């Protein structure tokens, strides 16, 4: 399986890497959140730009991104506009969505761009090609905030992201019972054992799905998400607690 090294962070081997979201609505809030990360043991940062109140002003987005990059220095950054249909804060036209992500790739201020798997396939392929030319990697993601699809469907979506050329496939699903959590974990394990040739991300949301956020080293998910101040999805726990739980599992896996 491929791994990706971003600075000193290797994604796809060992303990799952911890990503923290920043979700400020204003420049002031974003700067405060970014500065607050100084004493937090994270691995990656995801800027959920759909929370930003000036997200449809491209120059303001780029200005904010430059300020975030200055504070975070060499930390790996994921740029994400999560659409309303996948649990995000705002809706956006397809043309604006891809133009925004293309301009961010062109800036080379981020390491990853998250593009939603069920956007228009031709546009996804074009963005992946363009981003790779700028040394930016693509996470192709899918989020279901209502239910957990079947095990085969979860695997199908991850394989589709891989087929499209995304560097990291990702899926997050909502459990309605314990069986749903087991479905997600089983799909993750099957993906790791039989289909994945690159790192991928899976998670079951809410408190019920917490086990999926801490067991990636065992089942196969390469990145997990924890909160610094504000969470961006149901079930995220504080980074310090997440780091401790990951360490306990990692230190005892071979006993």
Within a domain: residue 6? no
Within a domain: residue 189? yes
Assign residue 152 the CATH number of its domain. 3.20.20.70
Tell me, what's the pLDDT at 235? 63
Give the burial class of 189: count Cβ atoms within 10 A of its Cβ; 0-12 exposed, 13-18 middle, 19 or more buried: middle
Within a domain: residue 40? yes
Tell me what the pLDDT averaged over the chain comes to: 95
143 flagged as catalytic: yes
231 has pLDDT over 80 = no
255 has pLDDT over 70 = no
100 contacts 58 by C-beta, under 8 angstroms: yes
In whole angstroms, give the CA distance from residue 121 to residue 181: 29
108 marked among binding-site residues: no
> Which residues is 22 bridged to in the sheet?
47
Among 155, 158, 153, CA closest to 168:
158
103 marked among binding-site residues: no
pTM: 0.95
Count of structural domains within the chain: 1
Tell me, what's the pLDDT at 227? 87
Distance of CA 52 to the CA centre of its chain: 17
232 has pLDDT over 80 = no
> Which residues is 169 bridged to in the sheet?
140
Distance of CA 16 to the CA centre of its chain: 12
| The residue count for the chain | 255
Q: What is the DSSP letter of 192?
A: I
86 marked among binding-site residues: no
Active-site residue (options: 5, 70, 170, 230): 170
Domain residues for 70?
14-240
Tell me the per-residue pLDDT of 94-148, one tens digit each, with 9 for 90 and over.
Answer: 999 999 999 999 999 999 999 999 999 999 999 999 999 999 999 999 999 999 9
φ and ψ at residue 137, rounded to 5 degrees? -95, 160
Within a domain: residue 30? yes
Within a domain: residue 3? no
Tell me, what's the pLDDT at 152? 98
Active-site residue (options: 143, 206, 229, 230): 143
Within a domain: residue 164? yes
Within a domain: residue 7? no
Within a domain: residue 2? no
236 marked among binding-site residues: yes
232 marked among binding-site residues: yes
Which tokens belong to 240? 């310090």
């Amino acid at each position: 399986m491929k791994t990706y090294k971003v600075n000193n962070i290797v994604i796809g081997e060992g303990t799952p890497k911890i990503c923290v979201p920043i979700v400020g609505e204003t420049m002031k809030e974003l700067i405060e959140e970014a500065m607050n990360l100084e004493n937090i043991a994270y691995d990656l940062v995801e800027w959920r730009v759909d929370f930003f109140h000036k997200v449809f002003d491209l120059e303001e987005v780029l200005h904010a991104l430059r300020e975030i990059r200055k504070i975070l220095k060499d930390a790996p950054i994921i740029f994400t506009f999560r659409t309303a249909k996948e649990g995000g804060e705002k809706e956006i036209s397809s043309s604006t969505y891809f133009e925004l992500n293309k301009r961010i790739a062109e800036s080379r201020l981020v390491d990853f761009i998250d593009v939603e798997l069920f956007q228009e396939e031709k546009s996804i392929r074009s963005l992946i090609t363009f981003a790779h030319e700028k040394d930016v990697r693509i996470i192709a993601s899918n989020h279901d905030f209502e239910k957990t699809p079947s095990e085969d469907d979860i695997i199908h979506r991850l394989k589709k992201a891989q087929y499209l050329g995304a560097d990291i496939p990702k899926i997050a699903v909502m459990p309605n019972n314990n069986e749903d959590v087991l479905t997600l974990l089983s799909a993750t394990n099957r993906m790791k054992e039989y289909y994945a040739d690159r790192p991928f991300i899976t998670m079951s949301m809410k408190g019920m799905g917490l086990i999926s956020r801490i067991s990636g080293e065992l089942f196969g998910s390469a990145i997990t998400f924890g909160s610094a101040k504000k969470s961006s999805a149901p079930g995220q726990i504080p980074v310090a607690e997440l780091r401790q739980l990951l360490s306990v599992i990692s230190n005892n896996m071979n006993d």
